[in-house]
Structure 1
Amino acid sequence: MPNNTPDTRNLDLVFERIVDLPPEAIWRAWTTPALITQWFTPAPWETIASEIDLRPGGRFYTVMRSPEGQSFPHEGCYLAVEPCRRLVWTNALGPEFRPANTSAGGPIITAEITLTPEANGTRYHALARHATEADCQAHAAMGFEEGWGKALDQLVALMKRQQG
C-alpha cells in the first residue's frame, strides 16, 4: 500500500524549551489580551492591541507595531483549545473558519503551542506549520527561533512578576 503522507520536514519550524513556570501561568499569558500586549512581540517591537475569542472558530487578533511606528494587524482563527495543554490557531482562516484574505503578505501558518508539565516547570513546544517550503524559509529568515525565543523570555519574565 503506498504511503500518501506528505513529507513535511521542510514545511515546519519548531521551538522548544523548558521554562520555570507552571502550564497554567503560560496558558493565562497566551489567552489574556491584557497580557498578550505585554510580551507577544519581541522588543523593540510592541503588540498594541489584542482580541481573543477563546474557542474553536474564535478570533485571535493582534496589532504589532514596529520600532518605526508602522502597525501590522494579524487576524486568525483558533482551531483547538485544550486549556493549559494545547492551543492551535491559523492565519489561513478568519473567525468562524472563514477563508482569510491573505493578500497582505507574510507567511501563512498554523501554529501550535503544547504545554507539558515537567518536574520544575513546563516543556513549551511551539510548532509553526507552513503550506510551502518558501513560506517556511521566509519565516525562518525573519528570525523565527530568535523571535519566538525572545517573546517566550518576555512571557516568563512577565508571569514571574505577576506571581511575585
Structure 2
Amino acid sequence: MTSANDRELVLTRIIAAPREKLYRCWTDAELLPKWFAPLPWTTASAKLDVRAGGTSAITMRSPEGVDYPSSGVYLEVVPNEKLVFTDAFTEAWQPSEKPFMAATVTFEDIGGGKTRYTAVARHWSVEDREAHEKMGFHEGWGQCADQLEALAKTL
C-alpha cells in the first residue's frame, strides 16, 4: 500500500479468486453494482463500454438516498490483466469539468486460484490526493475489495 509519489494512493490485496472472475466483476454491468460501493452505500446504476476509448457511467447512492453520478473513459483494457480509466473525460472524449484521477487496476495471477489485486489512483494534484485519502480511500476501496472477493467466489 505504498505509493510511488505524493499524488498516488495504492491498495494491494491478495484475493482468493482467479483474476478472470475479478475482471468479470469489474467489467460486467450486472455484477459491478453488487460490490462497487462500500456498504451502506450502493451502486444505483452502471453502464460500461469496456474498451479503450469506451465510456463508463456509474451512479453511487448514499445511505440518505443522494445519487453521485460519475462518468469516465477507459484508456487501456487488457482482458483479465489490467484496466486503466479516468474521469478526465466523459463520453466521446469530452473534457470533464473537474478531473480528479486516473486509476489503474491490475489482476496478477499468483497461482493456487489467487490474484494479486492492485488499485492505483493517480490524482491531478496533491490536494486531490489528500481529499481522496480523507474521503476514506483505503477504507472504502479496501471494503470494496472484500466485497469483490466475496462476489467473485460465488461465480
Equivalent residue for 2:73, pick from 49, 52, 77: 77
Residue equivalent to 2:148: 155
Equivalent residue for 2:31, pick from 22, 26, 35: 35
**What root-mean-square deviation, in Å, do the aligned CA atoms of Structure 1 and Structure 2 show?**
1.1
Q: Following TM superposition, by how much is the alpha carbon of 1:60 offset from its aligned partner in structure 2, in angstroms? A: 1.2
Matched, 1:136 2:129: yes
- Name the larger-Rg structure: 1
Residue equivalent to 1:119: 111
Residue equivalent to 2:89: 93
Structure 1 CA distance, aligned partners of 2:21 and 2:48?
17
Q: Following TM superposition, by how much is the alpha carbon of 1:126 offset from its aligned partner in structure 2, in angstroms? A: 0.5
SS at match of 2:141: helix
The letter of the residue matching 1:86 is K
Residue equivalent to 2:46: 50
Structure 1 CA distance, aligned partners of 2:76 and 2:90?
14
Q: Following TM superposition, by how much is the alpha carbon of 1:101 offset from its aligned partner in structure 2, in angstroms? A: 2.4
Structure 2 CA distance, aligned partners of 1:134 and 1:74?
20
Residue equivalent to 2:13: 17
Residue equivalent to 1:4: none
TM superposition score normalised by structure 1: 0.89
Q: Following TM superposition, by how much is the alpha carbon of 1:9 offset from its aligned partner in structure 2, in angstroms? A: 1.1
The letter of the residue matching 2:100 is I
Percent of paired sites with the same residue: 42
| Structure 1 portions without partners, runs of 5+ | 1-7
Which deviations, in whole Å up to 9, do the C-alpha atoms of 1:75-128 show, x marking residues without a partner?
0000000000000000011123221122xxxx7010100111002310001000
Residue equivalent to 1:145: 138
| Structure 2 portions without partners, runs of 5+ | none
SS at match of 1:139: helix
Q: Following TM superposition, by how much is the alpha carbon of 1:13 offset from its aligned partner in structure 2, in angstroms? A: 0.4
Which deviations, in whole Å up to 9, do the C-alpha atoms of 1:61-81 show, x marking residues without a partner?
110000001001000000000
- Return structure 1 stretches of 4+ with deviation > 6 angstroms: none
